[in-house]
Structure 1
């Protein structure tokens, strides 16, 4: 319990901007105040296993244990090589067609023809943003 004595979890929770981490800090504050894990889970409306996990992570890793773990997410549909080819296509198209704007539909057609992958139209614009190519400026 020594690890809990020197930290004011309530104060840290008030200052925390990340809502998920704030809940974790409040759970530790309640734990430090002597509430059991079932009471904590009821008052914060989270599962008891989450409270167990947060307390264990704090005991093992200190405040760093309360940080969000990296999430892998869904793998990209296009490989890095395909993304590079797409970027090259857009750059060459922009040079050759200075007075015209390349559209998401045209990019989607290129991707479908070259890589046999078809995206929803809205995803094309997210993909362009993710790879650092802004369609609105060309």
Structure 2
């Protein structure tokens, strides 16, 4: 059975996912976001549960790290790690 999305549409979707998976202002890309993107951009309606199957077929795995808080500062975190505890030799 032929794919619902063309090869070019899948490439465009993959680019969208890679660019939006880790948002610099915090938050994550969800299956709902991907479903909305497909519906709005390509005008094709997938069942929401099928999005995860589609991602797997495209070579994506749904493993994410915790998102960053929008006010998180990497420098402050690194400086905090350098503080010695009283119990450290």
Q: Same fold (TM over 0.5)?
A: yes
**Greater share of helix residues, 1 or 2?**
1
TM value normalised by structure 2: 0.65
Give TM-score scaled by structure 1 length: 0.43
Alignment of 1:75-94 (within 5 A): 75-94=2-21
Aligned residue pair count: 64
In 2, the alpha carbon distance for the partners of 1:82 and 1:135 equals: 20
For structure 2, the 5+ residue unaligned runs are 66-89
Shift of 1:94: 2.2
Residue 135 of structure 1 and its aligned partner are, at CA, apart by: 2.6
Unpaired segments of 5 or more residues in structure 1?
Answer: 1-73
CA offset digits 1:50-83 (Å, max 9, x no partner) = xxxxxxxxxxxxxxxxxxxxxxxx1100000000
Alpha carbon RMSD of aligned pairs, Å?
A: 1.5
